[in-house]
Amino acid sequence: MKIAVVGTGYVGLVLGACLAENGNDVICVDKDLSKIQTLKAGKMPIYEPGLEEIVRRNHALDRLSFSTDLPSAVHASDIVFIAVGTPQGEDGSADLQYVLAVARDVGRAMNKYTVVVDKSTVPVGTAKKVHATIAGETTHPFSVVSNPEFLKQGAAIEDFMYPDRVVIGCDDERSAATMQELYAPFTRTGAPILLMDTASAELCKYAANSILATRISFMNEIANVCELVGADVDMVRKAIGADARIGTSFLFPGVGYGGSCFPKDVKALVRSAADHGYDFEILRAVDAVNQRQKSRLVSKLQAHFTDLAGRTIALWGLAFKPRTDDMREAPAITIVNRLLELGAAVKAYDPEAQHTARQVFGDRIELCSKSYDALRDADALAVVTEWNEFREPDFGRMRQLLKHPVVFDGRNIYSPEQMKSLGFTYYSIGR
């Protein structure tokens, strides 16, 4: 199929690369010339395992191209995906200005029947707004489809190539047939293609992310209760996870969720519900719990040291999760900013988010190129992101480098018994 993907951010680039990998001819469009030039040179603007290899291979085979010329891409394509950002407004709502701007440009460029697909995460009713925007610019027939993405950062390629399900919201049989044909190769193992109306499809993404965020905040609350009553959250987690009705996913306590999806989507669904006269109380609480949890490690640091002024704290992990360089809404941002407010100095290391961290923090913290460099002369270590390389460190070397053998484990990756036997003062979440 001939496909255009407008927007070369995380979703758009993964989408375009994976569709090209399956034999489609894909043009990725972006108005940012420097980003297009970077992609043409085979360099990635984001870190996602496996993405660079797929982009380079399909670009070399002429199945994947990059352009700033949206009209030409629309002319050459039967399907146009809109995959631009929907940033969070001050009131929590999703800002649709970029989605509707692309819709307007696509309508102006349209020269034949085209299926226009909303791939951006958008609130209910967006498909109708996109349809009205395009209709105001063209007399050519077209369809608007809602096709939400369910990609996990760090595993996006696998998620796209082998999806749990494909959700397609459409209002006519012609676009439904086109989308089913497009996704058929990705669902040969039996994953369902769920056809529904556009409003239901639009709500699916918000609902999925919100329930996962709810599980995280719930377990963080349970962990906090465990500390008060002397219970072990790991034992509680295993017990409730063994219940087939609950399962084990997203039951690990920590320092809160972050990233480009959960925080924004929770707030957007709360706002969307409010716009329709409904107070989504559970999700408001989920967001409030998450904001508090991001400061949990700092509270433990304050309780241990009393005064953090003049202290140096080492941080392992800055990205909001492993296998990504994304720091949007990352707990590390809240932790670092609070430590700096309290007069502490911060030395930090992350395997992939160093460049991103420099953009976020500037010169306010010391960014180290090696994990152990961050420990040298630090008063304590705070583990913020559970990268694999932090799971089995050289504990003897850690003790030698730290001024005090104190570890604040925000992801519960170490055993309290082992850390005690090794001579560390150890704090974790809910244990």
Task: Clarify whether 204 is annotated catalytic.
Answer: no
What does the DSSP assignment read for 289-349? HHHHHTTHHHHHHHHHHS--TT-EEEEE--SSSTT----TT-HHHHHHHHHHHTT-EEEEE
Q: Round to whole Å and give the CA distance between 286 and 298.
A: 20
3-state secondary structure of 99: helix
Q: For residue 165, how many C-alpha atoms fall within 13 Å in the half-sphere facing its CB?
A: 13
Q: Round to whole Å and give the CA distance between 354 and 339.
A: 19
Q: Round to whole Å and give the CA distance between 398 and 82.
A: 48
Active-site entry in 170, 226, 261, 368 = 261
Per the CB < 8 A criterion, the answer to whether 177 and 115 are in contact is no
CA angle, residues 20, 321, 338, in degrees to nearest 5: 140
What does the DSSP assignment read for 231-284? --HHHHHHHHHTSTTT-STT---SS---SSSHHHHHHHHHHHHHHTT---HHHH
Selection from 420, 412, 401, 322 nearest residue 47 by Cα: 322
Q: Round to whole Å and give the CA distance between 426 and 431.
A: 10
Q: Round to whole Å and give the CA distance between 344 and 304.
A: 14
Q: Round to whole Å and give the CA distance between 395 and 400.
A: 9
Q: Which residues are catalytic?
A: 261
